Amino acid sequence: MPLGKCGNNAMNMGFFKGKTVLITGHTGFKGTWLCKMLINAGANVVGYALDSPTKPSLFELLHLEHQMKSVIGDIRDLEHLKNAFREYHPEIVMHLAAQPIVRDSYKNPVYTYETNVIGTVNICECVRLNSCVKSFLNVTTDKVYHNNEWEWGYRENDPLDGYDPYSNSKSCSELVTHSYINSFFNEMDVAVSTARAGNVIGGGDFANDRIIPDCMRAAEKGETIIVRNPHSTRPYQHVLEPLAAYLMIVRKQYEDKRYAGFYNVGPDDCDCVTTGNLVDMFCKFWGEGQTWENRFLGGPHEANFLKLDCSKLKNVFGWQPRWHVEDAVRYTVEWAKDYLAGQNISKCMDEQIKEFLGGGENCV
């Protein structure tokens, strides 16, 4: 089915002005950046999530609860979620709520499956029951694929079978969405997609067991950065890259259901780098003689090599990544330096969003 290519600058952020967008997981790192983009675009943003998962919290630092409707609730609580849909009547739903840490999924697999699988059932059920929703996107992960650790990227039609509880639960989240599409959504006036994104970095990520936040914490204390697996290869990208792609998908499928589908969202091969390379970049941009050392600390299995083939996203939408991984690290360090110096981080984010969008307010 041929679709006209959109081009990388074709998505008008003005599309979202006045539209009600419900975001699950809005208090998290990616969710906060997404809320910021949509608030800036004039959308009526509704968030549904637990309290911010980290201290400090980017969501709390920005005081976004005063610029949007923030519903504090558990994605596993179907009745509470239904009430949010009844009250706000969202036109667009973007599902980001998850237990997202691989190592934490080994510590608490039941909670991980409940959140990532039953949570997806609940959001799909709310979409099924509310005809106001015209566009729904479930955000999963590049780790949904059965990982053979081969040198070429995974495509959307490759088998889904994540190894660890986090990755496997997100594979299940994909399958839940596929079932709801086949059983219900295909007969409804709603367009539904999933987006499988790679590792993201950016200002304001304070999570544990993520390499750039670990780098920032060590640098703040003047300590050597400890890297537990410097040879693992990952598709790193700035957080604005997948968020812009998500917004592009939900807009285009809102306008034309034929754009609905399953999409990989990741960087080009040149930006699939080892963790050691990534930390080298961080140290370069941080300066101050910052160093790191390789120290394997043991722990559960994590993939060593993983990358995505994003040909489908490029061919359908004419999409291309904007920032290379070095740009992503530079902008992340810029945010961190502003934060530690007590500067206006909201202004820093607005400037980075504007620069990412090409200097204007209307294009993605």
Q: Is residue 134 a contact partner of residue 294, using CB atoms and an 8 Å limit? A: no
- Strand 69-72 vs strand 44-49: parallel, antiparallel, or unpaired? parallel
Q: pLDDT per residue over 125-157, tens digit each?
A: 999 999 999 999 999 999 999 988 777 888 999
- pLDDT tens digits along 298-339: 566 555 667 889 999 999 999 999 999 999 999 999 999 999
How many angstroms from the chain centroid is the CA of residue 154?
A: 18
Phi, psi for 278 (deg, rounded to 5): -60, -45
Task: State the pTM of this model.
Answer: 0.93
Give 96's Cβ-side CA count (13 Å radius): 26
Q: Which residues of the chain have pLDDT under 50?
A: 1-10, 360-364
Element at 263 (helix H, strand E): strand 262-265
Distance CA 341, CA 246 (A): 32
What would the two tokens of residue 339 be? Answer: 């934060």
How does DSSP assign 74-139, residue by residue?
Answer: -TT-HHHHHHHHHHH--SEEEE------HHHHHH-HHHHHIIIIIHHHHHHHHHHH-TT--EEEEE
- For domain 14-356, say whether CATH 3.40.50.720 is its number: yes
Helix/strand/coil percentages in the chain, nearest 5: 45, 15, 40
The residues spanned by each domain of the chain are: 14-356
